[in-house]
Amino acid sequence: MNTLKHLLLFTTACSSHPAIMAQETAPQRPNVVIILGDDIGYGDLSCNGEKTIHTPHVDALAHQGLRFTNAHAVASTSTPARYSLLTGHYAWRRNDTGIAPGDAGMIIRPEQYTLADLFQSCGYTTAAVGKWHLGLGDKTGTQDWNGFISPGPADIGFDYSYLMAATGDRVPCVFVENQRVVNLDPNDPIAVSYKTPFPGEPLAKDHPEMLTVMKASPNHGHNQAIVNGIGRIGYMKGGKKALWKDENIADSITEHAVKFIQENKDHPFFLYFGTNDAHVPRVPHPRFRGKSGMGPRGDVLLQFDWSVGEISRTLEEQGLTENTIVIITSDNGPVVDDGYQDQAVELLGDHRPWGPFRGGKYSAFEAGTRIPMILYWPGKIKAGNISDALVSHIDLIASFASLLQTSLPREAAPDSQNHLPAFLGEDPKGREYLIESAGTLSILFENWKYIVPSNGPTYSKLTNTELGNSKEPQLYNLTKDKGEKKNLAPKYQKKVDALHKILQLEKEK
């Protein structure tokens, strides 16, 4: 471990917040489980009001916990959203935090302080299980997938990791446990490239007849390596025994998450559990196939709900429910067609994955970043509350530091604010303002949203998403106009100027 970080970690004192001390029966520091869905929209969980989907396990936690209506990721795609959640640093301050290829070097550098470091410094055992998408190894394209891949999650505070390196649609399609590929046969080494195909390896673009499980949407990528009858992004060779089975991903990662909880039941733990659902390619396990009536996208939402149920059941069985905080949320907004012919569009019916909001994944409009969020901590949080406070993933690190009554090292998590009272349902307001990025920056300030003028495209034909870009400044009143239909910028020029100014000042920090 980096020496400076090591020093900082072991000089931070952690004690217990009054919320923890209040009850003599639960003197222990609470365990924390973050379940981070992938591309799951506000409307994709039935507790948020859509009648077209049924997610009973999530709903049970929402009904016994606190449900947020104004919770935000700070970016509308995975890598920057996850980066900010773990570091408390706005991803847009760096220019290398866009959607990472599967061979990206680790984007969070070992010397950076993370949420996992925080918990580790307070004596927690920490784990990252499931989707990672934050790079592994030192430099892009230089990892040896056949050896120990370093640096990795262990260098940023995770004692244990069981990961998909990037996304379901990116190679390498293998699990990486504690920085080594699982089930790797040394006689069949893995090679990965995002630059050049491997001679002799068939490509999806040349062999549509080999795409037996799912075809890519026309002109939409996913046309390079073929793994398990599905075209992927990137080239890969070898490692046949190590390949994941797409329909078993949810089972495999859930099983590892459950095992981590069971093995650590006797001392505080932090589990960061990134599901693969509902990212493409959506290949539900046969027990969920056809169950939603909405095709694979709906089916993997049920699968996500099942994973949540397995985590809750395990906590219950281990007697940990009272002393565990569970957060359910998503990395970014929803997308229906994200590049495979999986009938998500045709079978959507009346379902609105984005709920009452406009846009979706990739968008500067609200649905890009307004994500579902539930916080469940029975005994400590009043059951069935709903909060409209402006909260964001980026504040988890400062807020958990406050819960554990410790301070973050200087320069750690510079954009994170302590909003513990909002996360616990005691403060109805939360942040004063929040900056979000979809490439184009926006600022949320009280009930206002200002989107900076941009030359970016207004619409993505491929995914059928309104991207929220406009050459004109945009200002919306989100209380009266959740759907961002009426641009009030021409009417409230002073407000636009004031918000633009705040953004400029933030950029200069």
Nearer to Ca ion, 44 or 331 (CB): 331
- Residue 408 in contact with residue 113, Cβ under 8 Å? yes
Q: Which of 339, 372, 430, 439 binds ligand NG6 (CB under 6 A)?
A: 339
Q: Residue 221 touches which of Ca ion, ligand NG6, none (CB < 5 to 8 A by kind)? A: ligand NG6
Omega before 281 within 30 of 0, i.e. cis: yes
Contacts of 406 (CB under 8 A, 6+ apart): 12, 13, 14, 15, 118, 121, 122
| Tokens 């945009």 found at | 474
Q: Would you say 97 or 146 has its CB closer to Ca ion?
A: 97
SS3 281: coil
Structure letter (DSSP) for residue 245: P
- Tell me which stretch binds ligand NG6 (CB under 6 A): 49-57, 179-187, 217-225, 484-492: 217-225
Calculate the CA 467 to chain-centre distance: 20
Q: Which is nearer to Ca ion, 77 or 324 (CB)?
A: 77
Among 57, 72, 215, 222, binds ligand NG6 (CB under 6 A): 222
Name the DSSP class of 188.
S
Q: What's phi and psi for 248, nearest 5 deg?
A: -105, 0
How far is it between the farthest Cα atoms of the chain?
68
* Per-residue tokens: 108: 């969070």
Separation CA 316–CA 450 (nearest Å): 44
Residue 332 touching Ca ion (CB under 5 A): yes
Closest CA to 243 of 293, 190, 193: 190
Candidates 74, 85, 122, 280: give the one binding ligand NG6 (CB under 6 A): 280
Identify whether the C-beta of residue 437 lies closer than 8 Å to the C-beta of residue 74.
yes
Q: Which does 280 bind (CB under 5 to 8 A by kind): ligand NG6, Ca ion, none?
A: ligand NG6
Report CA 168 to chain centroid distance, whole Å.
14
Give the count of residues interacting with ligand NG6 (CB under 6 A).
17
Site residues (CB under 6 A) for ligand NG6, limited to 427-446: none
Burial class (CB in 10 A: 0-12, 13-18, 19+), 494: exposed
**Beta carbon nearer to ligand NG6, 78 or 161:** 78
Residue 169 interacting with ligand NG6 (CB under 6 A): yes
Task: Determine, following the binding rule CB under 5 A, whether residue 338 of this chain makes contact with Ca ion.
Answer: no
Interaction partner, residue 342 (ligand NG6, Ca ion, none; CB < 5-8 Å by kind):
none
**Between residues 60 and 99, which has the closer beta carbon with respect to Ca ion?**
99
Binding ligand NG6 (rule: CB under 6 A), the pick from 67, 72, 133, 352 is 133
Tokens of 257: 């998450």
Instruction: At 337, give phi and psi (nearest 5°).
Output: -95, 105
Site residues (CB under 6 A) for ligand NG6, limited to 71-130: 77-78, 99
Q: Is 16 exposed, middle or buried (0-12, 13-18, 19+ CB in 10 A)?
A: middle
Site string for ligand NG6, 15-54 (x = CB under 6 A): -----------------------xx---------------
Residue 203 pairs in a beta bridge with 225
Structure tokens at 336: 């229906």
Measuring CA to CA, which residue among 329, 468, 417 is closest to residue 40? 329
Token code pair at residue 272: 């960061």
Nearer to ligand NG6 by C-beta: 31 or 330?
A: 330
d(CA 158, CA 276): 19
**Cβ(68)–Cβ(374) below 8 Å:** yes
Per CB under 5 A, which of residues 66..95 are in contact with Ca ion? 78
Piece of the chain touching ligand NG6 by CB under 6 A; list 13-21, 220-228, 367-375, 389-397: 220-228
User: Residue 233 binds which entry of ligand NG6, Ca ion, none, with Cβ cut-offs from 5 to 8 Å by kind?
Assistant: ligand NG6
* Distance in Å, CB of 279 to Ca ion, minimum: 6
Interaction of residue 39 with Ca ion, rule CB under 5 A: yes
Give min distance, CB of 21 to ligand NG6, in A: 39
Q: How far is the CB of 363 from ligand NG6 (least distance, A)?
A: 12
By C-beta, is 99 or 210 nearer to ligand NG6?
99
Q: Answer yes or no whether residue 167 interacts with ligand NG6 by CB under 6 A.
A: yes
Is 331 a residue that touches Ca ion (CB under 5 A)? Answer: yes
User: What is the smallest separation between the CB atom of 168 and Ca ion, expressed in angstroms?
Assistant: 10
Interface with Ca ion: number of residues (CB under 5 A): 5
Residues that bind Ca ion (CB under 5 A): 38-39, 78, 331-332
Residues that bind ligand NG6 (CB under 6 A): 38-39, 77-78, 99, 133, 167, 169, 220-222, 233, 279-280, 332, 338-339
